[in-house]
């Protein structure tokens, strides 16, 4: 499979991990063009959020919440912006 996220999860492509559970990974965006830009992905490959299994999606959203709370409470940010783009037309 030629999925960059699967390669990051497997360690084939290095990443700056921020938070990890048995089923989810949150890491820094390598582009670095947006301060604090993080990506959160399930460790199991899914095409997008629309086909993500409920248990994986639940774990992923709990990871997002945990990291978001940390960013606001401990890192000096006053809020977070969450974005999901699912499908080609979503960008």
pLDDT digits (tens, 9 = 90+) for 39-75: 999 999 999 999 999 999 999 999 999 999 999 999 9
CATH number of the domain within which 43 lies: 3.30.428.10
Q: Do the Cβ atoms of 21 and 59 come closer than 8 Å?
A: yes
Q: In which domain, by residue range, is 83 found?
A: 4-90
Residue 16's Cβ-side half-sphere holds a number of Cα atoms within 13 Å equal to 8
Computed over every residue of the chain, the mean pLDDT equals 93
Two tokens, residue 3: 């999925």
The domain total for the chain is 1
């Amino acid at each position: 499979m030629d999925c960059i996220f699967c390669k990051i999860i497997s360690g084939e492509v290095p990443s700056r991990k921020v938070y990890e559970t048995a089923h989810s990974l949150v890491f820094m965006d390598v582009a670095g063009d947006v301060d604090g830009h993080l990506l959160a992905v399930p460790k199991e490959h899914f095409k997008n959020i629309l086909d993500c299994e409920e248990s994986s999606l639940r774990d992923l959203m709990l990871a997002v919440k945990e990291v978001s709370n940390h960013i606001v409470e401990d890192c000096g940010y006053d809020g977070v912006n969450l974005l999901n783009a699912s499908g080609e037309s979503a960008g």
